[in-house]
Structure 1
Amino acid sequence: MFTGIIEGKGKVIQIHPIDSGIEFQIITEWENPDLKIGDSVAINGACMTATKLENGGNLFSFYTSFKSLELTNLSRLTEGDEVNLERAMAVGQRYGGHIVQGHVDGMGQVLSRKEIEENKVEEFWIVAPEELRKYFVKKGSVTVDGVSLTVVDVREGAFQLILIPETIQKTNAKHWAKDKLVNLEVDVLAKYIENFLELRFSK
């Protein structure tokens, strides 16, 4: 379980294809480096398992299967790319975002990006895959590359985000240029409600 509050960014320093997928190596600087082998880490919002560690977890590896590569933008990572990182929630941790599972539902594409105020606030429009569009509502929650965000508006298959400078600087959002593919996880509560209604009215 995650919150969508990004702890920091990591840099991809090694990509190693293997028979069943790809092994990535990431370098970062955790505020409290306590990562252990087997721990869950959200990489751009995709829940992965730490498989190798050095320096208290500031250098770690994870494996991604071909299925995960198909569903996420991890397949497009190259050495030197920045990724958003969040370790799984700890017991008693303050809950600052929304319920994030780390199960990416699909990829969206950045349609536009522009600065809308002098204080560097930026507007993004992102096109969602057709099968996910029903889950987007104004003031609803969405996870984009692991970042918990609020949907400002919805229009013609795309949704609007407004990001403050702090969010842009602390995440890889500074790289969200036009046509960039980003990982999306829709609000799990919306999926539960949809399932409940389908079961109820199918009787």
Structure 2
Amino acid sequence: MFTGIIETKGKILKTETVDSGIEFQIQTEWNKPDLSIGDSVSINGACMTVTHFSELGNVFSFYTSYKSLELTNLGQLVEGQYVNLERAMSAAQRFGGHVVQGHVDGVGKIYSRKTVESDSVEEFWVECPESLIKYLVKKGSITVDGVSLTIVEVEKHLFQLILIPETLRKTNAMSWEVGKIVNLEVDVLAKYIENFMELRFSK
């Protein structure tokens, strides 16, 4: 489980086609690096398993299957690009974002971007798949490329985000230009509620 509070960014060092997927090697700089083989790490919001590591995890590899490549933007990553990273949460840490499973529900597309409030804040509108838009509500939570964010507005197939400079600095959101494909995970609570209501009224 994750919180959507990005710890750091990682640089793609190498991609290699392996069997029916891709193995990625990432270089980063963790605060108190402690990765082990088998650990879960959120890569742009997708939960992946560490397969190799060195320098206590400041360089590590993970394998992505063809199915994960279909459902996420990981298949579009190339060497030199940066991804958002978060290690699985521990029981002792503060819960700063919201419940994030690392199970990407689908991908969205950056529809528009503009600077507001004296060049310090960025406004984004993101195009969302029809199958997911029903889970989005004003002031609700959504995970975009692993970042826990608050939805400002929802209009038809779009939702609005406002990002402060700190979020832009600490994540790869600075690269979210128009047309950029981003991973989306909706609030799992919304899916539980939907399931409960369907079961209740189907009786």
TM-score under structure 1 length normalisation: 0.99
> SS at 2:134's partner residue?
helix
Count of matched residue positions in the alignment of Structure 1 and Structure 2: 203
Which residue of the partner structure matches residue 4 of structure 2?
4
Which residue of the partner structure matches residue 63 of structure 1?
63
1:35-54: CA deviation from partner (whole Å, max 9, x where unpaired): 11100000000000000000
Where does structure 1 differ by over 2 angstroms across 4 or more consecutive aligned residues? none
Q: Could you tell me how far apart the structure 1 residues matched to 2:16 and 2:54 are?
A: 17
> SS at 2:23's partner residue?
strand
Kindly report the root-mean-square deviation, in angstroms, between the aligned alpha carbons of the 2 structures. Answer: 0.5
Q: Could you tell me how far apart the structure 1 residues matched to 2:191 and 2:36 are?
A: 32
Deviation at 1:20, TM superposition (A): 1.8
Q: Could you tell me how far apart the structure 1 residues matched to 2:74 and 2:11 are?
A: 13
Q: Partner letter of residue 152 of structure 2?
A: V
Which residue of the partner structure matches residue 185 of structure 1?
185
Which residue of the partner structure matches residue 18 of structure 2?
18
Unaligned runs of 5+ in 2: none
Q: Could you tell me how far apart the structure 1 residues matched to 2:66 and 2:130 are?
A: 23
> SS at 1:137's partner residue?
coil
TM-score under structure 2 length normalisation: 0.99
Q: Could you tell me how far apart the structure 2 residues matched to 1:6 and 1:19 are?
A: 30
Which residue of the partner structure matches residue 51 of structure 1?
51
Deviation at 1:187, TM superposition (A): 0.1
Percent of pairs identical after alignment?
69
Which residue of the partner structure matches residue 139 of structure 2?
139
Residues 140-155 of structure 1: matches in 2 within 5 Å?
140-155=140-155
Q: Partner letter of residue 25 of structure 1?
A: Q
Which residue of the partner structure matches residue 34 of structure 1?
34
Deviation at 1:91, TM superposition (A): 1.7
Unaligned runs of 5+ in 1: none
Deviation at 1:119, TM superposition (A): 4.7
Which residue of the partner structure matches residue 76 of structure 1?
76
Q: Could you tell me how far apart the structure 1 residues matched to 2:191 and 2:48 are?
A: 22
Q: Could you tell me how far apart the structure 1 residues matched to 2:83 and 2:33 are?
A: 17
Which residue of the partner structure matches residue 160 of structure 2?
160
Q: Could you tell me how far apart the structure 2 residues matched to 1:60 and 1:123 are?
A: 33
Q: Could you tell me how far apart the structure 2 residues matched to 1:130 and 1:109 are?
A: 13
